[in-house]
Amino acid sequence: MHRTLRAQHDRFALTHPFRISRGVKTQADVVTVTIADGDVVGQGEGVPYPRYDETIEKTLAEIEGVRAAIEGGADRAALQALLQPGAARNAVDCALWDLEARRAGRSVAELIGAPEPHRLASALTVVIDTPQAMAVAAKAMASAPLLKVKVDAIDPEAQLREVRAAAPDCRLIVDPNESWDEALLRGIEPLLVELRTDLLEQPVSAGADEWLEGFTPAIPICADEAVHVAADLDVVARRYQVVNVKLDKSGGLTAALELANATRARGLGLMTGCMVSSSLSIAAALHVARMSDFVDLDGPIWLAEDRAGGVRDEGGMLLPPERGFWGTP
């Protein structure tokens, strides 16, 4: 059969603005890749991220650059050399996984040799706002098992105190998105301990984190922007205690699984994260989430309307997509 590849820009409106230290978004902009081989069709999604100098236009151009190879039969192994880690490779890689599963009549889980995705705790996010508004948001999520709190460097103490008071029983991830410096981090550690913080995610810039090599944190620190692929671990393992695997950073499920397995082999903690995306991104990420200590896959929960048959949230518990949505024949 002759393969065909199609890539397109899709937009999903959000129910509320998603505000973090580096900006705010009101819609999810994704690239959807569809690869057809006769009657068998696989899909994947990538989310270009400006932090990594990615745009929709650049991502579509990258995919166009490998069209001939993919339509000529290039597989996932070949793809790793054709594209750099990032949203473009993620979308194509996940489409190839989906295509492979459907052609074989077996699920992606079966191809990996792993259990099928199941219901699991996934963080609900409290985005940056006034401390009072963040408390209101946290109170509405207070029965969830895990909250992730976005903060910046302006008034994180007030924000975190209000959130913890409003949601006293949740496990807590604090995510400054690189907005803190060394002095702020050292100064706020006692508060993080007092508030029973479970994880501090990428507090300082990935380009200015060398000092973490000599630092023993009171709260485990998770690398996010500082880690993309398994080759990064030589440095990351000296600075961080946990690694956040995102398919858009690693460039697809193939590289994400490699990074997750390498992270575990080094004895580091593991987290699975996502961009603000549709369930098409999350369905693939669930295969890393099953291995993880922390799961943060609430991207589709922010959408006014997700893709039909996608994941669902029940009070902070994420339910996998309906069979046939992605990666299942």
pLDDT in tens, 75-133: 999 999 999 999 999 999 999 999 999 999 999 999 999 999 999 999 999 999 999 99
Q: Given the structure tokens 């057809």, which residue do they identify? A: 36
Query: How far apart, in whole angstroms, are the C-alpha atoms of residue 245 and residue 261?
Result: 11
**What does the pLDDT read at residue 190?**
98
Domains in the chain and their CATH numbers?
A: 3-106 (3.30.390.10), 120-319 (3.20.20.120)
Note whether 81 and 251 are within 8 A (CB): no
**What does the pLDDT read at residue 1?**
57
Parts of the chain with a pLDDT under 50: none
Q: What value does the mean pLDDT of the chain take? A: 97
Active site residues per annotation? 150, 246
Q: Given the structure tokens 């068998």, which residue do they identify? A: 40
Scored b (16 or more CB within 10 A) or e, 215-233 reads eeeebbbbbbbbbbbbebb
**What does the pLDDT read at residue 20?**
87
**What does the pLDDT read at residue 217?**
98
**What does the pLDDT read at residue 24?**
85
Return the amino acid letter for 116: E
